[in-house]
Amino acid sequence: MEFRLSETQRQLVASVRELAQGNFRSRALGWMDGTFPWENIKELAGLGVLGITVPEEYGGLGLPVFETALILEEIAKVCYPTAMAVLGEAGVQTRVIAKYAPEAIRSRILPAVVAGDCILSICMTEPHAGTDVANYRTNAVIKGDRVVVNGVKTLISRAEEAGMFIVFTRIDSKPGREGIGCVLIERGTPGLEVTGTYHTMGGENLHEVQFNDVELPLENLVIREDGFKRLLSAFNTQRCLNPAISLGLAEGAFDETIRYVRDRTIFKKPIGDFQGARWKLADMYKDIEAARGLLYRACWTANPFPDPFLAATAKIFCNEMAIRVTNEGVQLHGGFGFTDEYPVSRLYRGARYGSLGGGASETLRDLIGRKLAGEDLGPDGIMALGYF
């Protein structure tokens, strides 16, 4: 077994780390009010890494899940909103466009993603259908060579900035999971409106998006059949990328905490000299190392999609580990850890997201538990759950 990154992977990580630990670190607090981190996005585009999952013929790097996870981990060490913005460009949405969109859309949108000129937004969640996707009410009706979309999506990232919306929807009112497909809607299409904003504890804003008689050419209906299965296949990838952000947040909090306990003196000695503090550091370190091993192994199975059970296991562990580690980081910073003066408070808030999106921990435990209990989950296990 080989536990080292390749030379190419090390170079990729080093270039992103230099940018993140320099510019991103110093700007990080500025994005906490919901401002989109355009400056960082442009600098990442300059490095060429924004198109990390975009196929090479469209100007991207065409790299697999593992390299994408490595980049997200580096960025999340210092800036959760930027990591989330990059997840938007490197996650499910890019894959949907690269694999299913007509050539005219692919050749226009993907190079713009690589250049940091086109932000993508994925619209799945509805006010009454988050985990329970089979309950979608958004509907796309086919009318000759056109398709007309009506519905509401909520908790949507990047809706204010997006040039393209990847919208999962019911097709022709067909019920259940089988009725789910996907349409592409460009910003500026009549009937598409961003109607509400939620500011989150992680810093970024989420939005409500409405579709009122949005009329599109039929070719924008990019997934007509097996939409749910394709969504979940892509989501197995997301289940390696979301935890990469959790891992980075925990590592960032750990680094900050190590610095702090060495510098801060109480009772005439550094905090790190107290056994109670050292035990906390040891547990944080142990947690991070275990999480990294699980996540990298899950990423390593991706061809192109990772093993669903390893990805689910890695996601649960990394998400919950990040909450524990960032929490202990705040604790060891004392009252200053609760202020904006120290990055650890931002990292702690960001860590709370992981287990909510991309498959809640409870649903993923269901998936793993059913397999362990001997249930036949089908050839790939992907369709075992009626939700994600």
Contact residues: ligand FAD, CB under 6 A: 122-125, 130-132, 155-157, 200, 202, 206, 353, 356-357, 360, 362-363, 366
Quick check: 295 and 321 in contact, CB under 8 A?
A: no
Decide the pairing of beta strands 221-223 and 180-186.
antiparallel
CB 332 within 8 A of CB 256: no
Q: Report in angstroms how near the CB of residue 139 gets to ligand FAD at its nearest.
A: 16
Strand partners, 216: 147
Specify the DSSP element, H or E, that contains 232: helix 227-263
Which CB, 67 or 126, lies closer to ligand FAD? 126
**Residue 147 CB, nearest distance to ligand FAD (Å)?**
20
Closest distance of CB 345 from ligand FAD, Å? 17
CA separation for the pair 279, 16 (Å, rounded): 31
Closer residue to ligand FAD (CB): 184 or 277: 184
Q: Whose Cβ is closer to ligand FAD: residue 192's or residue 360's?
A: 360
d(CA 251, CA 257): 10
Between residues 227 and 357, which has the closer beta carbon with respect to ligand FAD? Answer: 357
Closest residue to ligand FAD, based on beta-carbon distance: 130
Distance (Å) of CA 50 to CA 87, 98, 155, 168: 10, 14, 23, 24
* Smallest separation, CB 136 to ligand FAD (Å): 11
Task: Pick the closer one to ligand FAD by CB: 34 or 270.
Answer: 34
The whole-angstrom separation of Cα 228 and Cα 134 is 9
Q: Which is nearer to ligand FAD, 257 or 345 (CB)?
A: 345
Query: At its nearest, how many Å lie between ligand FAD and the CB of residue 133?
Result: 8
In angstroms, give the least distance from the CB of 320 to ligand FAD: 12
Element (H, E) at 157: strand 146-157
State residue 339 phi and psi, 5-degree precision. Answer: -100, 165
Q: How crowded is residue 240: how many other Cβ atoms within 10 Å of its Cβ?
A: 30
Residues paired with residue 182 on neighbouring β-strands, in sequence order: 168, 223
Kindly tell me which of 58 and 353 has the beta carbon lying closer to ligand FAD. Answer: 353
The SS3 assignment for 162 reads: strand
Q: How far is the CB of 132 from ligand FAD (least distance, A)?
A: 6
Q: For residues 360 and 337, give the distance between their C-alpha atoms in angstroms, rounded to a whole number.
A: 28
Cβ of residue 158: shortest distance to ligand FAD, in angstroms? 7
Distances 83 to 31, 44, 70, 157 between C-alpha atoms, Å? 12, 11, 11, 12
- CB of 137 vs ligand FAD, minimal distance in Å: 13
Nearer to ligand FAD, 128 or 286 (CB): 128
Tokens 């598409």 correspond to 192
Residue closer to ligand FAD by CB (options 6, 195) is: 195
Amino acid symbol at 188: G
